[in-house]
Amino acid sequence: MSEEVGARKVGVDYWGLKPPETSCDDPKCPWHGHLKVRGGLLVGRVYKARAQKMVVVEREYLVYVKKFRRYERRRSRIHAYLPPCLKVSPGDTVLIGETRPLAKSVAWVVLGVMAGGGST
């Protein structure tokens, strides 16, 4: 395996994500800093990328309603930290991982872009 010098193993080999080509010196970066990824992994679509180093990821899921014997579609929006070495735009499909609380509403970090599709 030819990995970039300085990039750590984050534990997402199953998803086929490679470390980013650019490096950063951010301590909150899971690839180049000291942030540990623990807990859940989610795939979602970037809904908003206006804040500095933060994105809003929207994920859709199905919930079964017993009374009507069918599924309803729900969605939730999660605030996730965006390391400077990753470039995302609204509409991109990203993989996010759970971390320790980084801010009042941020406890997830973007690990990589699964598929493009955003307009820049």
pTM (two decimals): 0.85
Q: Which residue range forms the structural domain that includes residue 37?
A: 13-115
Count of structural domains, the chain: 1
Spell out the SS3 assignment of the chain.
CCCCCCCCCCCCHHHCCCCCCCCCCCCCCCCCCCCCCCCCEEEEEEEECCCCCEEEEEEEEEEEECCCCEEEEEEEEEEEECCCCCCCCCCCEEEEEECCCCCCCCCEEEEEEEECCCCC
Question: Is 1 part of a structural domain of the chain?
Answer: no
Tell me the pLDDT tens digit for each residue of 35-44.
999 989 999 9
CATH code for position 101: 2.40.50.1000
**pLDDT tens figures, 77-107:** 999 999 999 999 999 999 999 999 999 999 9
Q: Is residue 37 part of a domain?
A: yes
Residue 38 lies in a domain: yes
